[in-house]
Amino acid sequence: MVTTTALEAELLALAGSVPDPELPVLTLAELGVLRGVQLTAPGRAEVLLTPTYTGCPAIEAMSADIEQVLHDHGIPEVEVRTVLSPPWTTDAITAEGRRKLAEFGIAPPRPTGPAGGPVAVDLTLRCPHCGSTDTTLLSRFSSTACKALRRCESCREPFDHFKEL
């Protein structure tokens, strides 16, 4: 394990403060996709980023935003590397991140079960608008790969659910 210097911790916090391009209420730190920042030489930083979904198109915008923020902090060379292992899971979203999702109108993911188990889509989910648990699944896939589309049977509003991964 490499020891983290004060500057690396500072850069990690900076990179972590970048908003998610598709869910701007969340920061990358709250989404749990940032795996570390390392200074490989003076003025050169390597950032490890993990995608939510393998095909997530937001990863390129995230990388560009991280590079920009570190450049602005005086790091001329920034390399953002994508790592797959260990795979990201919705359990990596912080408690604050979940709270913000719900506030934004997206039902946060529930804790996940063991890998390879059945996909739990039928359990009760709370409507982020009115709080009712009387909600139904409209589609397993919604505006992005990471969300499912549901409808609240009490207030009749449709809403996105950040589905468990």
Interface with another protein by CB under 8 A: which residues? 51, 53-57, 83-89, 115-116, 118-119, 121, 138-145, 149, 163, 165
The dihedrals phi and psi of 159, each to the nearest 5 degrees, come to -150, 155
Neighbours of 51 (CB within 10 A): 17
CB of 45 to another protein, least distance (A): 23
Q: Rounded CA gap, 104 and 42, in Å? A: 40
DSSP structural state of residue 84: -
Among residues 74 and 86, whose Cβ is nearest to another protein?
86
C-beta of 87: minimal distance to another protein in Å? 4
Nearer to another protein (CB atom), residue 11 or residue 32: 32
**In terms of CB distance, is 21 or 39 closer to another protein?**
21
**Considering the complex, what minimum distance in angstroms separates the CB of residue 7 from another protein?**
29
Task: State which residue, 42 or 114, has the beta carbon closest to another protein.
Answer: 114
Comparing CB distances to another protein, the nearer of 25 and 145 is 145
Helix ranges restricted to H, the chain: 6-16, 28-31, 58-72, 95-103
Q: How far is the CB of 64 from another protein (least distance, A)?
A: 13
Long-range contacts of 123-128 (CB under 8 A, 24+ apart): 125/150, 125/161, 127/152, 127/154, 127/155, 127/157, 127/159, 128/101, 128/102, 128/103, 128/104, 128/159
**Contact criterion met (CB below 8 Å) for 105 and 128:** yes
CB of 93 to another protein, least distance (A): 15
